[in-house]
Structure 1
Amino acid sequence: MYDKFVAQKLIDLWLTEDIGCFDLTAQLMVDAKAQATFYMNAREEMTLAGVEVAAQVFRSYDPSCKVELRCNDGDVVEKGTVLMVISGPGQSLLTAERTALNIAQRLSGIATETAKYVKAIEHTKARLLDTRKTTPGLRMLEKHAAVCGGALNHRLGLDSGVMLKDNHIAVCGSIEAAVKRARRHLPALTKIEVEADRIEQVREALDAGADVIMLDNMENEAMVEAVRLVNGRALVEASGGIRLDTIAGKAETGVDFVSTSRPFQSAPAVDIGLDDEA
C-alpha cells in the first residue's frame, strides 16, 4: 500500500538527517571489517506497520546487509516476537539502527491504535476511515499504517476527491450551486462529498446529488435522523471529535463510515528494539 520508489526518497532524507557528516561512534568503536547480526524484537504486543520500510533502510544504507523478515506489515504479534534478522558490517548496522527503529515504532504505533478503533465498531456495518491530518512528509506511510490496522483510506490528497466544506459552500452561495459547479468539471469516476452539520443541509445535499454526506459534529440522535432521511441514496460518514470512547455510539447510528484523526495524532510509538539476541 505504499510506493517503494517514493519511500526511498524519504529514507535518503532520514539517513542524511540522522548521520550528518558520519557516524562518529560507530567509526571510532567498530572495526570496519567486523561483521554482526542483530534481531529486531517486539517488546510488547502490537499490530505491525513499517517493518518492510525498516528493512529497506538497512539495505539502502549498505546493500551488503542481509535482512530476513520474520513478520510482515499487518501482522498482530506478541511480546518477544522476532520481526527481522539483520546481518552485515557492524558499522553499517549500528549507523542505520535508529532510523529503522524510529519508522517501525511510529508506524506500528499508528497501526496498533487504529486496530483498537476498528475493534470498537466491528459489531456495526460502519467502516473506519482515516483523515489527512498526518505528519507532513509521512502521509503515504502513515496511511499505509492505518490500512495495516484495519482502516480504509479517505482522501490521499486534495486531488483524490471533492469535499465541499462550509467555506466552499459559502463562496458558491449554496450546496446546490457548489455541487453543480463541481460536477461540471469532475473526472468521471471521482465522488463529491458534502459536509453537513444540520438536517436541512443533509436534505439539500441529497437534492443536489452528493455522492457522500459527511455528518460533522452532529449529536447521535440527529445522525440517526440523517441516516433515515438519506435512506441509502448516498453514503453517510460521521466525523468530528470522535474518540475511542465515543466511536461505537457514532457507528451504531447506521452510518456507512466513521472518520477520525485520533490514531494519527495520539498513537504512542510502540516498543521495538534491536538486540544482539532473539
Structure 2
Amino acid sequence: MKIQNSYQHEMKTGTLYIVPTPIGNLDDITIRALQVLKEADLIAAEDTRNTGRLLQHFKIKRKMISYHEHNKAARQDQMLDILREGQSIAVVSDAGMPGISDPGQAIVQAVAKEELPVVVLPGANAALCALVGSGLSTDQFYFYGFLPRKKKIRQSALKDIEKVQATVLLYESPHRLQETIEDLYQYFGDRKACIARELTKRYEEWGRGTLSELKEWTEQNKVKGECCIILDGVSVKEEGNWWDSLSLSDHVEKVMEEEGSSSKDAIKIVSKTRDIPKREVYQAFHIDK
C-alpha cells in the first residue's frame, strides 16, 4: 500500500496536476485551476491549439507540449523525467476532467506507479452535469463513455449495459447519435432517457423522455455538438410467491398434498400465508369449488 500526503510536506519531486477545463463556458474555470496553469513548469495538452486559445484568453504564458492518444506512450518517459527533476506538469484535455474518456488516465497510472505525487483539481465534467439535469436517478450511476464503433464489440457492450441497474452515462458525437439511440431502443426497449447537448454553451439543449421519443426526435432533427446520453437502469422485478398463480382452492389442495394436513389445517395455513380471512379460504374451498 502506498500513501501520498499531497500537502503535508515539501515534495522533492515535481507534481502532476490534473486540471479540468471548461466544457463550453469559460467562466466555469476555477481560480485554483488558473493558478496552477500559471505556475506549472509545463502544460501537457490534448490539443495545444485548443489549450492555447484558453491560455490566451486568461493571459497565461507557459510552455506546452502535446499529450494525446497517439503519442502518450512516447511522451510518458519524458514527462516522468521532468517530474523527477522537480518540475511540475499540468495535464489538460480539450474540455472537462482529464482522464475521463481521454489519455489522461495513462499518465496518472504511470506517475502513481513511480510513487510520484498526483494532485487532481475539481472542475467541469459533462457526464455529471448531464446526470444531475436528466431527471433520472442519481443514487447510483454507471459511466461507460463512448460505445465501441466495431459492430461485434459494440453489441457485446450493449448486452453488458442492458443488465446494469444503475443509471447509465454515455458520451456520443452528433453524427453517431441517431444510430446509438436506435441501438439503445433495439436492445433496451422503451426506457426513460435523456440527451443533453452543448452543455454550458449558448445552445444548451435537453431532450427528456423515452427512447422511442428520443429516437423520433433524432430522426427529425439535425443534432450538433457533443452529446451525453443518460439512460434509466434496468428495473429489478420483485420475485413473486410460488402460489401467486394458484386459486385459493388449488392452494389449499397443494398444502394438503405437500404437508399431509387436513383441509381444516390447510385452510388455516393458506389464510395465514396470504394474510386473508379464514372464512374467505373456506368459502373458496368448500362452497365455491
Please indicate the TM-score interval, normalised by the length of the shorter structure: under 0.3
Structure with larger RCO (C-alpha < 8 A, sep 6+): 1
Q: TM-score, structure 2 length as denominator? A: 0.27
| TM-score of the pair, normalised by structure 1 | 0.28
